[in-house]
Amino acid sequence: MKLKWNKLNNAFIQTKEIILKLTNKDEIKLINKTKRYKSLDDLEGFNPIKYSKYITDSNGQTLIHLEELNNDNIIKQATKAINHYYFHTLENPTHRSKSFWHNFIEHFGAFRKYQNLPYISSDMASSHNFDHLECVNNLILALEPLTNWVNQFIKDHYKNLYMKLNNLVLGPFVPKTFGIFPIMSINFNIISDYHWDNNDDENYFCLLVALGDYKGGELCFPQLKIIIHLKPGQIIAFRSSLLLHGNFEITDGIRHSIVYYVHRDFFKKTNNNYNIEQNEEEKFLLNINNAEGLNKIIRLQKAKHEQTSINFEHITNRKDQNNVLRARNFLNKKSSF
């Protein structure tokens, strides 16, 4: 196992060095919002990509894989489900989670950030309002065909990766809702500034699917000088923790982005071994028959202050204030406040 890990780690280091040689990383960090919002014509030397394509490094390792999702029924069903969830949540303040209202992004699935055992995300468990759980369940069920297609995509093109993720143990209380991926996130009608996903595992892909009826919103990789004209129903797999990426503005319409990914914490904590010795306190906490204080059901008849107030302090550095305001008001770039 140690030899296998060293081989995998060396491959990651080589890939990272190749990417860093492509450009000056310090200059990339200085990219500001003004530069990011320039028109595509101003990006001299950038290569626009619209159709299916592989992009690899000098060792033949895939960095970006753009593919068509050739199934209109799956696309229409997923788009309809997300639009319904989006507008329903906007119209019902008591159903808004903090992550939805502050940044218009929600995480569904399992995390493993603060403890060794995986746990269901608060958005998926609807811990802010139990009545919202039905909305989440309907959304996840409607997205199941898309999730199955994404899993099949990895299985067809990256068999070894699929086998490794398929054997990933999430724990006795965490269902594999999204197949080989522990987590799925949705960006609702919002774009992202340039960033690296530092929490994503370096050796696995992040898969992004764009849905909706929109114009603009191109995905940009400044290190590689590549622009992806991501159309509705296309899927892109890329190394999110290695490649700097961000979006151009949506010039017309509404776009939602679904992201399937793997956090590195799933591999760096406890080695998926749950038969470990525990002290009496840990045994009490992990006792499946003791649910004291774990299932506090919250039902809201009136929206909380955090579900209706506008506080820009909570907005992450990946979101633009004007875009958040537009998302809250059902608006696109062409619309005025």
Q: HSE of 166 in the Cβ direction (CA atoms, 13 Å)?
A: 11
Decide if 106 is inside a domain: yes
Q: Note whether residue 9 is domain-resident.
A: no
Asked whether residue 281 is domain-assigned, the answer is: no
Q: How far apart are CA 263 and CA 246, in angstroms?
A: 19
Distance (Å, rounded) from C-alpha 232 to C-alpha 229?
Answer: 10
Look at residue 112 and tell me if it is in a domain.
yes
Residue 88: the pLDDT is: 96
Number of Cβ within a 10 Å radius of residue 198: 9
User: Can you give the residue range of the structural domain that contains 250?
Assistant: 20-272+291-328
Is residue 93 domain-resident?
yes
Mean pLDDT by 10 residues, the chain (337 residues): 70 58 45 43 65 76 86 93 95 94 92 78 91 94 95 91 82 82 91 84 88 88 85 89 85 90 74 40 40 60 82 72 79 70
In a domain, 283, yes or no: no
The answer to whether position 266 is within a domain reads yes
| Alpha-carbon 233 to chain mean position | 16
Residue 268: its pLDDT value, please? 65
Tell me how many domains the chain contains: 1
CATH number of the domain enclosing 167: 3.60.130.30
CA angle, 178 then 181 then 186, to 5°: 70
Rounded to two decimals, what is the model's pTM? Answer: 0.76
Instruction: Give the chain's count of helices (H) and strands (E).
Output: 12, 12
Answer yes or no: are the C-beta atoms of 151 and 69 closer than 8 Å: no
Flag whether 335 is in a domain: no
